[in-house]
Amino acid sequence: MSGTTSQTDGPERGRALLPERLVSGYEAFLGGRFTLDQDRFRHLAEAGQKPRIMLIGCCDSRVPPEVIFDAEPGELFIVRNVANLVPPYGPNDDLHGTSAALEFGVVGLGVEHIVVMGHSGCGGVRAFVRGEANAGHAPLSPSDFIGKWISLINTAAARIEPAAAPLDDYIERLALASIVQGLVNLRTFPWIAGREQQGKLGLHGAYFGISRGTLLALDGVSGRFEPIAAGAHRAAFERPGSSGMIGPGEHNRTLL
């Protein structure tokens, strides 16, 4: 495909098999992190994975959990889907990618925490609000997948006030409500609800503001999304050259 791969011949022919950016990134990985963490990778290969935290995040390329949480290999068990949605428990003959990952993470790996993390400016939530299956493009046909998938947001939308101007504010409120609904849906899985009741599993909601790097977490008692590491965040923006601008929907404290 034009513009995506290198056409180098000879010993570097491998560069034609993958996008150039991936090859150069892999080379940087070999010369940097892999060299420093060879023992960790060797241990993970031999002992297997035992992550304590499972995170359900959005596919959005701007919100990489490993980067946001400075995670090492083996620390996070991550599932990413459009709009970081959690379907309710419903075993049938359909294919359930997120539910299968939940079963593997909870029952197979024994994770101790599940975090549902949304983010500002989510295209999936915006598409739902606009009544489209793919924001910014022609609606997808009934034979495709996104429209049915984001219909999971219906329940969250019913929990908050109807859309009103400005629409961006409503989209962010709906993104937060969808996180809360994701936690409700998690508790419909019997092996999740049982472990939570036994104190073996903690469920958490989080929201990341892309432009300013804010992180909010749900307080289950108050129902509010509270800022995390506010002091460290404030210090980051007091450094020379940092910007104090706040992006749409990235307030320090949000109430559902």
Q: Of these residues, 15, 60, 80, 195, which one is catalytic?
A: 60
Specify whether 58 is catalytic: yes
3-state secondary structure the chain: CCCCECCCCHHHHHHHCCEHHHHHHHHHHHHCHHHHCHHHHHHHHHHCCCCCEEEEEECCCCCCHHHHCCCCCCCEEEEEEHHHCCCCCCCCCCCCHHHHHHHHHHHHCCCCEEEEEEECCCHHHHHHHCCCCCCCCCCCCCCCCHHHHHHHHHHHHHHCCCCCCCHHHHHHHHHHHHHHHHHHHHCCCHHHHHHHHCCCCEEEEEEEECCCCEEEEECCCCCEEEECCHHHHHHHCCCCCCCCCCCCCCCCCEEC
Specify whether 59 is catalytic: no
Q: Of these residues, 80, 122, 212, 251, which one is catalytic?
A: 122
Q: Of these residues, 15, 80, 119, 173, which one is catalytic?
A: 119
Specify whether 119 is catalytic: yes
Specify whether 37 is catalytic: no
Q: Of these residues, 21, 42, 43, 62, which one is catalytic?
A: 62
Q: Of these residues, 15, 58, 173, 251, which one is catalytic?
A: 58
**Active-site residue list:** 58, 60, 62, 119, 122
